[in-house]
């Protein structure tokens, strides 16, 4: 316990420095804004803002980016409740009852319980993260190159969870990401690979222009095709603090959603959206009046909103302790940590305790800041929602170009961003998801390094992966995940065929 107290004191020392308090505030403010504005998303925002973090200390950079991630979960509920458009996929379920509450003149209690439930869930998630991360790290210190290889293979099987559509398309995108990661200098021989004589490709493709293109530029191109007519809630919002009856109806839902969200956030592919959907289904199942769900019951807001915030915190556990990203935003965090010279995994907490504990404590601060921000600033968010897309999207494109160029002051990176913007646009048109490609691109160099180190140790024998208990366990789990995913996919297709035939 003494060690925990010392670590927390270190975290407070880092998080409460003036500069990190500022970055924490900027992160949660921008995250809330990103959540309020439909279409951009936390993944796009993190990709856009990564270049800004280059001159920051690693702890400051991760504190700000983390604030964007969990702040977006707060902000997404505002659009869901006021205009029936989810700011994030994780707030889709909030639309069902939140918007109906606003139409009944109860927008205030809906927004209030969403903010308070999010605060409770986020705080709970941070406490569990603090208690679980270090003990789990002690177990993973036994990892060597073979264990890392098998663990990264296990992480790569997450494409089966990241794919909302065709698993085959997800695997194709992951393989494309792996192939793109091979461009550049060979880590063992030092020879150029797949550069085709282009000097700018000697260092490989940078993940930042790639992400900016796939998420930022592609989002702009996609939305240019769509004409959106948004009617913003115009009545004066009052009564933001829930009544005693509202508390009585929603308190159990908040704690149930918190538990569901946190554990689904830890699981590979669980994610905030699935946590929100699951929480809503559970609340409807346990409700004494399930027929009222969708007509404006406060439990339908409290449960999902608590779940998505708890899940956003829980997803940091596999990233910090194992180096496994459980969703596309965590894959971007993995890239951000590596850009700042930090290796996610078992040694992160012991080698960089200031970063880990500083981020953990900043989450406490961020959750309190979000609670303070969200309630009084709701009228301002309503005005932001009236900002037309023809003003917003050119600003995003300008930010993408500036961010890509400022990374190396090389116009080649801007071309890379534009090329991946077109690729991302085509992927959306043909229903190929970019998330598996990002995951494959980021994990492939780590897999290659661990594989080649392992083969050097074993003098070329593959048996090293099957004679070490942790390594073989990871490979078996990876095989099980793939098998379960294939079985689930086939079963779902069989059910669809049965329904169609009926």
Cα 74 from Cα 91, distance rounded (Å): 9
What is the Cα 6 distance to its own chain's centre? 29
If 0-12 CB within 10 Å is exposed, 13-18 middle and 19+ buried, where does residue 55 land?
exposed
- Above 70 in pLDDT, residue 284? yes
pLDDT, position 137: 65
- Which residue from 367, 314, 330, 363 is spatially nearest to 14, judged by alpha carbons? 363
Instruction: Please tell me whether residue 430 adopts helix, strand or coil conformation.
Output: coil
Q: Determine the 3-state secondary structure of 147 from DSSP.
A: helix
CA-CA-CA-CA torsion sign (55, 329, 114, 98): positive
pLDDT band of residue 176 (cuts 50, 70, 90) is: very high
Q: Which of the four pLDDT bands, split at 50, 70 and 90, describes residue 12?
A: confident
**CB-CB neighbours of 501 under 10 Å:** 6
- Structure confidence at residue 201 (pLDDT): 86
Overall residue count recorded for the chain in this entry: 502
Residues 394-412 have a mean pLDDT of 75
Residue 341 has what DSSP assignment?
A: T
Read off the pLDDT band of 499 (50, 70, 90). Answer: very low
Neighbours of 299 (CB within 10 A): 27
**Cβ–Cβ under 8 Å, residues 113 and 301:** yes
In the predicted structure, residue 10 carries a pLDDT above the cut 80: yes
SS3 182: coil
**Average pLDDT for residues 186-201, to the nearest whole number?**
82
Exposure string over 474-490, b if 16+ CB within 10 A, otherwise e = bbebbeebeeebeeeee
> 49-83 pLDDT, tens per residue?
777 887 888 889 889 988 888 887 777 777 777 76
CB-CB contact of 388 with 37 (8 Å): no
Predicted confidence (pLDDT) at residue 419 exceeds the cutoff of 90: yes
E strand spans, 425-493: none
* Section 367-388 average pLDDT: 72
Confidence of residue 19 (pLDDT cuts 50, 70, 90): very high
Per residue in 222-252, pLDDT (tens digit) is 877 765 554 555 555 555 677 788 888 888 8
The pLDDT value recorded for residue 1 is 44
Calpha distance 218→215 (Å, rounded): 6
> Tokens in use for 214?
């796939």
Whether 102 has a pLDDT exceeding 60, the answer reads: yes
Exposed, middle or buried by CB within 10 Å (0-12, 13-18, 19+), for 63?
Answer: buried
Report pLDDT for 204.
Answer: 85
Please give, one letter per residue, the 3-state secondary structure of 232-279. CCCCCCCCCCCCHHHHHHHHHHHHHHHHHHHHHHHCCCCHHHHHHHHH
Report the C-alpha gap between 318 and 136 in whole angstroms.
9
Least confident segment among 10-19, 86-95, 469-478? 86-95
């Amino acid at each position: 316990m003494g060690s925990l107290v010392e670590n927390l004191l270190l975290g407070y020392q880092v998080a409460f420095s003036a500069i990190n308090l500022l970055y924490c505030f900027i992160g949660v403010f921008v995250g809330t804004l990103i959540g309020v504005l439909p279409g951009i998303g936390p993944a796009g925002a993190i990709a856009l803002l990564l270049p800004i973090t280059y001159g920051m200390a690693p702890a400051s950079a991760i504190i700000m980016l983390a604030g964007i991630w969990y702040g977006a979960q707060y902000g997404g509920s505002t659009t869901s409740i006021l205009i029936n458009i989810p700011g994030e996929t994780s707030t889709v379920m909030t639309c069902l009852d939140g918007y109906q509450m606003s139409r009944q003149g109860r927008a205030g209690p809906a927004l209030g319980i969403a903010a308070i439930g999010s605060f409770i869930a986020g705080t709970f998630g941070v406490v569990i993260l603090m208690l679980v991360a270090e003990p789990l790290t002690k177990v993973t210190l036994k990892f060597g190159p073979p264990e890392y290889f098998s663990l990264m293979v296990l992480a790569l099987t997450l494409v089966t969870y990241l794919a909302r559509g065709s698993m085959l398309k997800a695997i194709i995108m992951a393989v494309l990401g792996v192939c793109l990661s091979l461009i550049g200098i060979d880590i063992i021989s030092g020879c150029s690979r797949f550069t085709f004589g282009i000097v700018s490709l000697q260092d490989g493709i940078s993940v930042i222009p790639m992400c900016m293109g796939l998420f930022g530029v592609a989002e702009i191109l996609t939305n240019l095709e769509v004409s959106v007519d948004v009617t913003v809630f115009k009545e004066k919002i009052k009564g933001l603090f829930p009544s005693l009856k509202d508390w009585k109806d929603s308190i159990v839902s908040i704690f149930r959603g918190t538990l569901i969200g946190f554990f689904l956030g830890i699981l590979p592919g669980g994610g905030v959206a699935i946590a929100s959907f699951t929480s809503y289904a559970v609340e409807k199942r346990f409700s004494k009046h399930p027929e009222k769900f969708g007509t404006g019951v406060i439990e339908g807001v409290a449960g999902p909103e608590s779940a998505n915030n708890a899940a956003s915190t829980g997803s940091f556990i596999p990233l910090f302790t194992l180096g496994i990203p459980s969703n596309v935003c965590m894959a971007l965090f993995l890239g951000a940590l590596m850009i700042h010279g930090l290796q996610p995994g078992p040694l992160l907490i012991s080698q960089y305790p200031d970063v880990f504990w500083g981020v953990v404590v900043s989450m406490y601060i961020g959750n309190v800041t979000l609670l303070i921000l969200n309630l009084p600033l709701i009228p301002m968010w309503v005005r932001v929602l009236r900002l037309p897309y023809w003003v917003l999207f050119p600003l995003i494109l300008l930010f993408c170009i500036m961010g890509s160029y400022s990374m190396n002051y090389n116009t080649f990176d801007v071309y890379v961003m534009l090329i991946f913007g077109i690729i991302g646009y085509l992927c959306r048109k043909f229903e190929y998801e970019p998330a598996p490609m990002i995951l494959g691109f980021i994990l492939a160099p780590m897999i290659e390094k661990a594989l080649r180190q392992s083969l050097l140790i074993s003098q070329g024998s593959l048996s090293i992966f099957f004679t070490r208990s942790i390594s073989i366990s990871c490979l078996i789990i990876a095989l099980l995940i793939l098998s379960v995913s294939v079985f689930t996919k086939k079963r779902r297709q069989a059910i669809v065929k049965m329904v169609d035939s009926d």
